[in-house]
């Protein structure tokens, strides 16, 4: 079975500092991986996804993630945090079941940005 683990339920960074949110996956086959962001009282929005085309994936709002097979990781980074980045971030894997593909999510990491 495929799953994802997000290390750190809560991460705090200073405005302008590097953002690093960790995600490790377990999969017996090449995974398809996603990062979603959820702002307070809103639905989830896709930041970026890995579909095996390139290991370094660039997303919206300056975020990017690198797929590292040797480390089974797909960490999300942003060089300089902005106050508007404060939100909850979810890593997800596309899980095959009976011919369909649903998302299995990690438990989420809440990002706080300190002015």
Q: What is the dihedral of CA 16, 9, 96, 58, to 10 degrees?
A: 0
What are the distances in angstroms from CA 62 to CA 29, 59, 94, 113? 29, 6, 23, 15
Asked if 18 is part of the footprint of other proteins (rule: CB under 8 A), the reply reads no
Q: Which of 33, 18, 42 is nearest to 111 (CA)?
A: 18
Q: Which stretch binds other proteins (CB under 8 A): 13-21, 58-66, 73-81, 93-101?
A: 93-101
Q: How many CB atoms lie within 10 A of CB 17?
A: 14
Asked if 99 is part of the footprint of other proteins (rule: CB under 8 A), the reply reads yes
Minimum Å gap between C-beta 70 and other proteins is: 22
Asked if 69 is part of the footprint of other proteins (rule: CB under 8 A), the reply reads no
Asked if 104 is part of the footprint of other proteins (rule: CB under 8 A), the reply reads yes
Asked if 105 is part of the footprint of other proteins (rule: CB under 8 A), the reply reads yes
Residue ranges binding other proteins (CB under 8 A): 32, 34, 36, 42-46, 49, 51, 90, 94, 96-108
């Amino acid at each position: 079975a495929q799953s994802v683990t997000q290390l750190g339920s809560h991460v705090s960074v200073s405005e302008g500092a590097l953002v690093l949110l960790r995600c490790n996956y377990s999969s017996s086959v090449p995974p398809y991986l996603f990062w979603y962001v959820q702002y307070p009282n809103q639905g989830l929005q896709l930041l970026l996804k890995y579909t095996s085309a390139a290991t370094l994936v660039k997303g919206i709002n300056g975020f990017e993630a690198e797929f590292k097979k040797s480390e089974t990781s797909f960490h999300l980074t942003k060089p300089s945090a902005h106050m508007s980045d404060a939100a909850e971030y979810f890593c997800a894997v596309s899980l095959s079941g009976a011919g369909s593909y649903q998302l299995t999510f990690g438990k989420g990491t809440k990002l706080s940005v300190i002015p």
